[in-house]
Chains A and B, each alone.
Chain A
Amino acid sequence: MTQPFRLGEGGMIDRTQPLSFRFNNTSYQGYVGDTVASALLANGVHHVARSIKYHRPRGIIASGPEDPSALLTVMDAHGTTPNLKATEIPLRAGLEVVSQNHWPSLQRDAGAMLQAGSKLLSAGFYYKSFMWPKDAWHRYYERIIRRMAGHGEADISPDPALYDKRNIHCDILVVGTGPAGLAAAKTAARGGATTVIVEQDHRLGGTYLSGDASDRDIPQDAEQEFRTLSNVTLLARTQAFGIYDHGTVMAVQSRSGSAARAIMWKIRARRILLASGAIEKPLVFPGNDRPGILLAGAARSYVRRYAVKLGNRAVLAIACREDRAATRRALQDAGIEIAAELGDGDTLLGTTGRARLKGVTLRRSNGQRERLACDLLCVSGGWSAAPHLFAHAGGNLAWRDGLGLVPQGAHPLIAPVGGARGTFDTATARNEGRAAAHQAMGELLMHVPMPSNLPSPVPPARDVIASGHGKAFVDLQNDVTRTDIAQAVHEGYDDIELVKRYTTLGMGTDQGKASWVNGIEEIARVIGQDATDIGHTTFRPPYSPVTIGALVGAETGRNMHPIRRTPFHRAFERANSVFQTSGDWLYSRYFPQENEDMSTAITREVNAVRNGLGCVDMSTLGKIDITGPDALEFLSRVYCNNFATIKPGRLRYGLMLREDGIVFDDGTIACLTPDHFLITATTANAGSVWRHLQKLAQVEWPNLDIHLTDVTSHWASLAIAGPYARELMQALRPDFDATREAFPFAAVRDGTLGDDLPVRAFSVSFSGELSYELNVPAGYADALFNRVMAAGAKWNITPYGLESLDVLRIEKGHLSIGTEIDGRRTPFDLGLGRMVSDKKDFLGKALLTRPALQAPDRPQLVGLKPLDRTQAIPPGGHLTHEALTGSVQKICGNLTAAVHSPTLGHSIALAFLVNGQARVGETLWVVSPLAETSVEVEVVAPHFYDPDGARLHV
């Protein structure tokens, strides 16, 4: 017979849609509208898990995210997902779930033997054990513990599911749709506020759903109304898991059978009405963890909402009398016999049964002891508020007996209502919801503000049900007992934060939802203080576990972050470029020819530039247009070198310092007209330089009449370099005179190529060869590249990439950001001291004169050559006076770059050496402890190739 514990009628399941699913390889049936928990209970399956430490049989305690025990692994087409709560997994056809944390089976778990040694496994046992023998930790203990620890097993295969992240804005966000939340949402929606409603369940209603039939109509009616209102967004199956900066609420929506398996919503609301309800408090008594023991509210939910008959004979141990009566009615309606009810002064002494509850032992207030056979025990110690999100936003919480931790004081953005503030009475909660919504709309000036001083919540009348002595679990997820807490306190961990960490109380996937209030009371009792005085730990997001996929959304693989492509990207793809990321850029690394490795390609490319012709993409350099009558004055203040005499059509190399005198960036300054300049910044610093200049223009020197425009992306820039660069320049048919005399080194020309292609050409060089940087509007990059390749074929023009560019600049001794210009160097350190003007004022001048920046023992840039030219200088090495000794050595410098120079035929390096400029000719050692290499080197000037620059002027 299927579903033997399903009631013949009632519930909010769709009996016309039966579903098959499997649990631990056994097939079961349920209905649309079931959770895995309700379907398992309808099939009489109560034992669904093993506890983490003692491997005790565990069942389903609750009906929502507060359940600490019923953690299962779901297996589907997306792989396996561990640690999902049976109470939160909607039943769907073909679902396959398995239990966790046991071997070889759930029923016969070898780990259960640990219960015999439970006294040895008390709180903090791992801090005191596994210390002997000395080498056993790595050999045995760690392996065994890793095998036994934790819940479930993570699936490390790629997740094929899609996830999404979306934004939503609203006037009012309502979190939760119990009585308070629904009332608030209806008021806000009817009042015209754009309203977002978030509900963790797939049905609206909260506690309405486990109430009488008339209650269950309320959320259905509300939902129908919401669906007709265009100002309402309803997010069901959505867990608001945290509130972050500026009140941004993060919520994750679970969806099955959808394009996106989960959506993370970033909700920006002008007001938040927190109706997250309350969590029922279990009772702590000996044997309180047996399958068959449920929270009373959950029992009502399973009966009323899911039409599950939870057992045949029940005992009720419910502190709140109203709840007790409601539970009695629900169970009796389901045909469950009530064996006994505990009341004020009664004591729960223990339970019997293994994988399922068989009986309860109790002592009445008159001292009479009873042993009752039963298969269901409904417990409740009352309710405690669930104001977690209020605390995330910085709201204060305070302990109130009978209410738990409740919000204290007002918050400018968030108003807790109903159970979330400790109001457990349905009618009062509804009133609070309505009042809070009116208040919010008043604050938003949508309505006339209404006075709304909500009265302080009053704890409901409760009976005190006592507990006998014995093993009683406070935290079922982490197997933390009363004894553990007492032991922690007695060992000196008497602060609530310490108790939590020493015992793991309140940790794990449920974050102590059903255990923390009992934990506080237990700690207070052991310490001998009032719960009000011992404080509480910090509530941090996430409220409930969030799948990593939802946090990532669509940002996977190439979509992880924006990739910047240069205008030549497609042309270079056709030219067989190998690309690499450099910052956000996808940059051409090298252009291999058939069967060529990178090293061979680099050698070929460098030789082409030195002896023939090459071309390279320079588009990523920052380009800033500066106009206005004060443009030259502005630039003169920004750069440390003097260029007051610069004429239109010429350009200069410029060095930019920070205020502290350290080199910030370098680049070129081109004078287009007396009041129009174009400067370049290094690729790495393009954004920083742009922001720096804007700040200077707008904040420091607003009196200067200049305008800045970032034109970096407007221009595609291709450098043609090599002895035949001028011939190629002329072959491109510029409409300006490109002869050596008319277009010398360090000049700029505007014009066209071939009568139609607009170009701005700069005669500058990073490679050390005669070179022109041809800038065309980026949309014409293809055209430029095609023309350059066609015209340059005569000289076998060779495209080259970032690797060859680096080799060429190191041979020439040119600087690079991040290696030589690393945020610690002065112009003098870099050998550029002569550039620093003493005739003008500039940014960084004052602090550049600090004695520390003028000291002779500062590291200075030098070149290095191996004495044995066949040896390779190890990159990343240090400079010392002796070969690698294996012991600590005095270091006198460090390398910034080391490459094989195809031009010179041996290894070369750039380095910073203490007082290096005065030490040219010395012999030192480059040592690399990582590579275990030492190479004896000669200190030389940093310009290995054409130090006089003669090749720039051929």
Chain B
Amino acid sequence: MSETLLRSPATDAAGPLGLGLQLYEQPLEIRVTHNLASAPALGQIQRDGEITRLRHWPEQVWHVAASGSHLSDGTDISHGQIVLRLRGHGALRFLADYTTADLRAATIRQAGTVRTRLGHYTVLLWWDITRDIHIAVDRSQAQSLVDHLRALIKRREPHEHLD
């Protein structure tokens, strides 16, 4: 009973994915609010100091902040959504080959966020720079998605080095 309470990761993603890409799990605070006052437009992202607001549903907004941050508003889903970070020079290029949405489309490029399908997985992506992509996925599917990304990277050519 005296053990320290630790949040267990949902996946074994903790380093190199292959071809110069890094994949790891980042614990974040995520809350769902239905207060749309000052919310970003649908499909858009809004950064406000430590808080990132993502709106991909008409009636709700995600508030995202670093683990340990205090987010007062909304329903906590921090443990239900696993945020993977894919880092490396070709991170966006790699994902773009497998997402249904066109990550290079002007609207998505400008928004820096999109909710789409990656293979059979529903994912929410956002990024400040294309070398560092956040991939939010339902916790129950997170390990399976990591395994899937590993399977995909094996199908790339060595000369497609993506770092």
Contacts and interface: CB of A to CB of B under 8 A. Distances in A.
A779 B7 contact: yes
B145 interface: yes
B34 A707 contact: yes
A158 to B, nearest CB: 16
B139 interface: yes
A562 B141 contact: yes
A715 B98 CA distance: 30
Interface string B36-65: 000000000000000000000001100000
Nearest to A619: B140
Given A565-B144, A698-B59, A166 B102 contact: no
A711 B5 contact: no
A565 B155 contact: no
B77 A562 contact: no
Contacts of A456: none
Interface string B100-123: 101011000000000000011100
B152 interface: yes
Given A259-B156, A259-B157, A564 B140 contact: yes
A778 B76 CA distance: 11
Contacts of B147: 558-559
A713 B75 contact: no
A787 B1 contact: yes
Nearest to A585: B140
A564 B105 contact: no
The listed residue with most A CB atoms (<10 A of its CB), out of B76, B139, B141, is: B139
B161 interface: no
Given A713-B138, A714-B80, A754-B1, A562 B120 contact: yes
A538 interface: no
A105 interface: no
B96 A167 contact: yes
B75 A559 contact: no
A93 interface: no
Interface in B4-44: 5-10, 27, 32, 34
Contacts of A570: 8
Contacts of A162: 154-155
A268 B102 contact: yes
Residue among A167, A558, A561 facing the most chain B CB atoms (10 A cut-off): A167
B73 to A, nearest CB: 12
Contacts of A167: 96-100, 102
A115 to B, nearest CB: 47
A260 B1 contact: no
Contacts of B80: 711-715, 778
- Highest count of chain A CB atoms <10 Å: which of B77, B80, B100, B158: B80
A189 to B, nearest CB: 16
Contacts of B152: 164, 554
Contacts of B155: 162-164, 259-260, 263, 554
A215 interface: no
Contact of A777 (B75, B78, B154): B78
A714 B102 contact: no
B120 A561 contact: yes
Interface string B143-154: 111011001101
Contact of A780 (B8, B100, B156): B8
Nearest to A713: B80
B140 to A, nearest CB: 4
Contact of B145 (A268, A562, A707): A562
A707 B75 CA distance: 10
Contacts of A561: 120
A411 interface: no
B7 A780 contact: yes
Given A169-B105, A564-B144, A585-B140, A778 B79 contact: yes
Contacts of A169: 102, 104-105
A782 B4 CA distance: 12
Contact of A779 (B79, B98, B145): B79
Size category, A interface:
35 or more
B128 interface: no
Contacts of A562: 120-121, 141, 144-145, 148
A790 B2 CA distance: 12
A832 interface: no
A259 B148 CA distance: 16
Nearest to A163: B155
A259 B1 CA distance: 50
Contacts of B76: 711, 714, 777
A166 B103 CA distance: 13
Contacts of A168: 97
A627 B155 CA distance: 46
B148 A790 contact: no
Interface in A541-581: 554-555, 558-559, 561-567, 569-570
Contacts of B148: 554, 559, 562
Contacts of B9: 779
Contacts of A733: 1
Given A167-B96, A783-B3, A259 B144 contact: no
Nearest to A564: B140
A834 B119 CA distance: 47
Contacts of A786: 3
Nearest to B143: A565
A709 B154 contact: no
Given A166-B98, A564-B141, A707 B121 contact: no
Interface string B123-147: 0000000000000001111011101
Nearest to B77: A714
Interface in A143-180: 162-169
A836 B152 CA distance: 52
A781 interface: yes
A733 to B, nearest CB: 7
Contacts of A564: 138, 140-141, 144
B99 A778 contact: no
Given A698-B59, A714-B80, A554 B140 contact: no
B109 to A, nearest CB: 12
A40 B12 CA distance: 52
Contacts of A165: 98
A711 B75 contact: yes
B79 A714 contact: yes
A267 to B, nearest CB: 11
Nearest to B12: A570
A582 B81 CA distance: 22
Interface in A707-721: 707, 709, 711-716
A713 B105 CA distance: 31
A368 interface: no
B36 to A, nearest CB: 11
A757 interface: yes
B27 to A, nearest CB: 7
A787 B6 CA distance: 13
Nearest to B31: A709
Nearest to A258: B157
Nearest to A257: B157
A711 B80 CA distance: 7
Q: Which of A561, A709, A716 has the most CB of B within 10 A?
A: A709
Interface string A710-747: 01111110000000000000000100000000000000
B140 A713 contact: yes
A625 B77 CA distance: 11
Interface of A: 162-169, 194, 258-260, 263, 268, 554-555, 558-559, 561-567, 569-570, 585, 625, 627, 698, 707, 709, 711-716, 733, 754, 756-757, 777-783, 786-787, 790-791
Given A554-B152, A563-B143, 4 more contacts: A167-B97, A714-B77, A714-B79, A780-B7
15 contacts: A163-B155, A167-B98, A167-B102, A554-B152, A554-B155, A559-B147, A563-B143, A563-B144, A625-B75, A698-B59, A709-B75, A711-B75, A712-B80, A714-B79, A779-B10
Which 10 pairs between the two chains have the least Cβ-Cβ distance? Answer: A713-B80, A714-B80, A169-B102, A779-B7, A564-B140, A778-B79, A164-B155, A777-B79, A707-B34, A260-B155
